[in-house]
Amino acid sequence: MGDTANHLDVASLDAHWRAANYLSCGQIYLMGNPLLSEPLSPEHIKPRLLGHWGTTPGLNLVYTHLNRLIRERDQDTLCVWGPGHGGPAILAGSWLEGSYTEFYPDVTRDRSGMERFFRQFSFPGGVPSHAAPDVPGSIHEGGELGYSLAHAYGAALDNPQLLVACVIGDGEAETGPLAASWHGNKFLDPVHDGAVLPILHLNGYKIANPTVLARLPEAELDQLLRGYGHEPLYVTGDVDDPHAVHHKLATALDSAADRVREIQHRARVGRVAGRPRWPMIVLRTPKGWTGPAEADGKPVEDTWRSHQVPLAEVRENHDHLLRLEAWLRSYRPGELFDEAGRPRPQVLRYVPDGARRLGATPHANGGIRLRELPVPSLERYGVQVDKPGASSHAPTRVLGSLLADLMAATADRRDFRLVGPDETASNRLDAVYETTGKAWQEQTLATDEHLNRDGRVMEVLSEHLCQGWLEGYLLTGRHGLFSSYEAFAHIVASMASQHIKWLKSADELRWRRPVASLNYLLTSHVWRQDHNGFSHQDPGFVDHVFNKSPDYVRVYLPPDANTLLAVTEHVLGTRNLVNVVVAGKQPCFDWMPLEDARRHCARGVGVWPWAGTDDGHRVPDAVLACAGDVPTQETLAAAALLRRHLPDLAVRVVNVVDLARLLPADQHPHGMTDTDYDALFTRDRPVIFAYHGYPWLVHRLTYRRTGHDNLHVRGYQEEGSTTTPFDMVVRNNLDRYRLAMDVVDRVPGLAVHAADLRQHLADVRGRHHEWIRQHGTDLPEVAEWAWPG
């Protein structure tokens, strides 16, 4: 500690901090006169003042001090800025260190560049006010609060040399996902993973209220953070003596870095037992520090009033204008920038070089580091299918073997992770434990299985953590798969939305390289929630995803094991997408051999001629379409019923794997032309579509098609309980008898011709109700049904 103090060039640190504060304030307010070379006047002020000052000086302080830490230790470092809405700070740090100009050459590190830099912030056609993808060094936008620490852990995994600093705002700390994220240290391996250094920024206030953590008694806060498994180091900034903070923060950062190094060293030479107690920093500084002490007779600095724009009427109110000028000049810009607007050497004294700069780290542009994933050849896992429906397999179990070998193939590279909320085994993917374990740094007991320190399966009962970890992992250039109960994917709907927004914005920048897609495997789905029932039934995550930018979303519903393999192989090779794969974990019929499955999945939709009774050329009397494993089974059973009872009826069976195929070609990259659509579904024949999820989604995808008026969709309609699989489809009118009746009802003339059949179907259906109430099982003819091919 004495070492830090003795060598510290506080003046340089302070110069950098003041420069960053100056640049931040400038971004919020100025569109001219960037160096204050003349008195400030209203025309220098932006007409709309948008941004967040309150958190910014604290973020600037951290940037300044991380620079020193990185430079003095040549420490590979990424920083996740939780209060991403303090965008001006991260932008200022990047501009000062020069990385900004490297990515945006027209924003030069001089007077004219500074003016452009100021003007573009929160300005139409300029840059957003958050730490969006535009911001060098950022992997975390910070608009929707709660995910910074999970992102930080995700970034640290399998990056043993990396230090991930993570600034956590005390507002964000009140969110659920953040509160859960503290336990990430129970899953971080000090040998194979990097370190996470949480910096809890007790800024004191959120938008309009004090924060819970900032007002805890100090002893209670200390207990809480130790309870989270950390060794907290406290740094408090004095509102009246900002300068004094530098020694404290530099010392704390050095102590933390020393402690991290020591933990890692001990673990890596094998001298460790149990989980280490990682350091963290509690940085207590006034909100809006160094900004205006008051305005309009009310205190501003160190209150919530500095959250956004502390002086709101600078253009109209001369007193505000004077206060702004005084505020800007309080940083003494003349000492910080030369006449040409270039930062003076003292400001840059501690700025690191090249890729060590926070804005230039390749970890924050993960596509640079991304390697192709060595997905094993599917032939080893594909199930043999001599004829459709003659055997059955649990699709996810078959996939498990592929994932096990993928884990083996990446054992040295360590760039693939499987995450899930305590459901890997429940979702039948437990074959992966043959080649890797579950990450776990806590105590283990003799009865435990597959837990180990360096496992690459991440299991925690929090969808938020699974998603956050995986996002952090992917954005830093690695690969992964998130397996979840289908219904509970909704828990992370908003996170998925934010990730898709990130991908879209990032993709629009030239310098951001594509990252691996975020792949969801949604299983334990709506139709087979045998142990749970109604609360576990919600297939609507795909509806949510389809509202997002079509260039970044894909949805697949493989109907059996081989198609699940083919789809998984595909999605693991894609970039910059969110892929949602919905598949069953219960045994289901094998419909097609692997090669057929591959072709079918590549087309995304196709006629299954062996299942229908049309001759493949003439226009059929009706189309039975299906998407999803259970709907496919019910559709084929309906087709079999119709074939038996109405052999002359020409029924075409169409299976849809890639749901976006239903969209018009101009609406989605995978969309189908009307010609192709009409060739499959016809322009005028009744189409009975058995869909896995909410039926309206299919209408929303197809409403522009000529044949849409003839489309009749069956799907989940929020009817369910703890009951049998067949009762579930009956309750929602998705069962084989209902589908066959739908055909009878909709093919012109058939209702009369096949009245007996219709009655028969209704009778069997009716018998089901009585039977299950008596026996608790499905009708024998349903339970034992097999495709009669």
User: What part of residues 174-213 is at the interface with a copy of itself (CB under 8 A)?
Assistant: 174-183, 186, 206-212
The number of CA neighbours under 13 Å toward the Cβ of 78 is: 34
Tokens of 258: 């020393």
CB 252 within 8 A of CB 61: no
3-class state of residue 560 by DSSP:
coil
User: Tokens 């998925």 correspond to what residue?
Assistant: 496
Minimal distance, residue 250 CB to a copy of itself, in Å = 28
CA–CA separation, 241 and 250 (whole Å): 16
Q: Map residues 95-134 to x or -, x wherever contact with a copy of itself holds by CB under 8 A.
A: ---------------------------xxxxxxxxx-x--
Residue 557: name the closest of 619, 622, 494, 604 by CA.
604
Minimal distance, residue 654 CB to a copy of itself, in Å = 20
Minimal distance, residue 491 CB to a copy of itself, in Å = 5
Q: Which one, 40 or 698, has the nearer CB to a copy of itself?
A: 698
Report CA torsion sign: 389, 394, 395, 400. negative
Residues 231-290 that bind a copy of itself (CB under 8 A): none
- Give every CB contact of residue 307 below 8 A, 6+ residues apart in sequence: 52, 53, 54, 205, 206, 207, 208, 287, 288
Residues 131-170 that bind a copy of itself (CB under 8 A): 132, 141, 143-146
Minimal distance, residue 665 CB to a copy of itself, in Å = 17
CA–CA separation, 30 and 36 (whole Å): 10
Residues 709-728 that bind a copy of itself (CB under 8 A): 717-718, 721-724, 727
Q: Which stretch binds a copy of itself (CB under 8 A): 457-465, 573-581, 585-593, 616-624?
A: 457-465
Minimal distance, residue 105 CB to a copy of itself, in Å = 19
Q: Which one, 84 or 631, has the nearer CB to a copy of itself?
A: 84
Q: Which one, 52 or 323, has the nearer CB to a copy of itself?
A: 52
Q: Length of the chain in residues, anyone? A: 789
Instruction: Determine the Cα angle at 212 with ends 145 and 462, to 5°.
Output: 45
- Give every CB contact of residue 701 below 8 A, 6+ residues apart in sequence: 546, 659, 660, 662, 663
Can you point out the beta strands (E) in 611-660?
622-627, 651-656
HEC readout, 689-721: EEECCCCHHHHHHHCCCHHHHHEEEECCCCCCC
Choice from 425, 481, 641, 660 touching a copy of itself (CB under 8 A): 425
Torsion of CA 745, 751, 756, 758, to 10 degrees: 0
Is 316 a binding residue for a copy of itself by CB under 8 A? The answer is: no
Q: Which one, 134 or 569, has the nearer CB to a copy of itself?
A: 134
Q: Which stretch binds a copy of itself (CB under 8 A): 1-9, 408-416, 455-463, 583-591?
A: 455-463
Choice from 15, 30, 225, 364 touching a copy of itself (CB under 8 A): 225
CA–CA separation, 485 and 480 (whole Å): 17
Choice from 460, 565, 592, 739 touching a copy of itself (CB under 8 A): 460
Determine if residue 565 is left, alpha or beta; phi over 0 gives left, psi from -120 to 50 gives alpha, anything else beta. alpha
Is 459 a binding residue for a copy of itself by CB under 8 A? The answer is: yes
Q: Which one, 346 or 777, has the nearer CB to a copy of itself?
A: 777
Is 776 a binding residue for a copy of itself by CB under 8 A? The answer is: yes
**How do strand 298-299 and strand 278-284 relate by DSSP bridges?**
unpaired
HEC readout, 728-741: HHHHCCCCHHHHHH
The number of CA neighbours under 13 Å toward the Cβ of 301 is: 17
Q: Which stretch binds a copy of itself (CB under 8 A): 152-160, 191-199, 439-447, 677-685?
A: 439-447
Q: Which stretch binds a copy of itself (CB under 8 A): 97-105, 460-468, 514-522, 579-587?
A: 460-468
Is 746 a binding residue for a copy of itself by CB under 8 A? The answer is: no
Minimal distance, residue 466 CB to a copy of itself, in Å = 11
Q: Map residues 381-420 to x or -, x wherever contact with a copy of itself holds by CB under 8 A.
A: ----------------------------------------
Q: Which stretch binds a copy of itself (CB under 8 A): 402-410, 453-461, 639-647, 748-756?
A: 453-461
Choice from 504, 746, 753, 760 touching a copy of itself (CB under 8 A): 504
Minimal distance, residue 426 CB to a copy of itself, in Å = 5
Residues 464-503 that bind a copy of itself (CB under 8 A): 464-465, 487-488, 490-491, 493-494, 497-498, 501
- Provide Rg for the chain, Cα atoms: 30
Minimal distance, residue 626 CB to a copy of itself, in Å = 20
Choice from 65, 323, 438, 598 touching a copy of itself (CB under 8 A): 438
Q: Which one, 18 or 130, has the nearer CB to a copy of itself?
A: 130
Residues 593-652 that bind a copy of itself (CB under 8 A): none
Residue 329 CB neighbour total at 10 angstroms? 13
- Give every CB contact of residue 365 below 8 A, 6+ residues apart in sequence: 511, 512, 513
User: Tokens 């573009």 correspond to what residue?
Assistant: 120
Minimal distance, residue 646 CB to a copy of itself, in Å = 28
Q: Which one, 49 or 336, has the nearer CB to a copy of itself?
A: 49
Residues 288-307 that bind a copy of itself (CB under 8 A): 299, 302-303
The number of CA neighbours under 13 Å toward the Cβ of 4 is: 19
Residues 531-560 that bind a copy of itself (CB under 8 A): 531-536, 538, 540, 543-544, 546-549
Choice from 172, 590, 621, 742 touching a copy of itself (CB under 8 A): 172
Count of residues interacting with a copy of itself (CB under 8 A) = 125
CB 359 within 8 A of CB 99: yes
Minimal distance, residue 688 CB to a copy of itself, in Å = 16
Residues 654-713 that bind a copy of itself (CB under 8 A): 694, 696-697, 699-700, 703, 708
3-class state of residue 326 by DSSP:
helix
Q: Map residues 36-75 to x or -, x wherever contact with a copy of itself holds by CB under 8 A.
A: ----------xxx-xxx-----------------------
CA–CA separation, 288 and 309 (whole Å): 10
CA–CA separation, 93 and 343 (whole Å): 12
Residue 148: name the closest of 55, 95, 192, 82 by CA.
82
CA–CA separation, 598 and 418 (whole Å): 23
CA–CA separation, 735 and 723 (whole Å): 15
Minimal distance, residue 117 CB to a copy of itself, in Å = 15
Is 452 a binding residue for a copy of itself by CB under 8 A? The answer is: no
Alpha helices (H) along 426-553 = 463-475, 493-507, 541-546
Q: Which one, 286 or 366, has the nearer CB to a copy of itself?
A: 286
Distances (CA, A) of 424 to 419, 564, 632: 8, 16, 25
Q: Which stretch binds a copy of itself (CB under 8 A): 217-225, 630-638, 644-652, 674-682?
A: 217-225
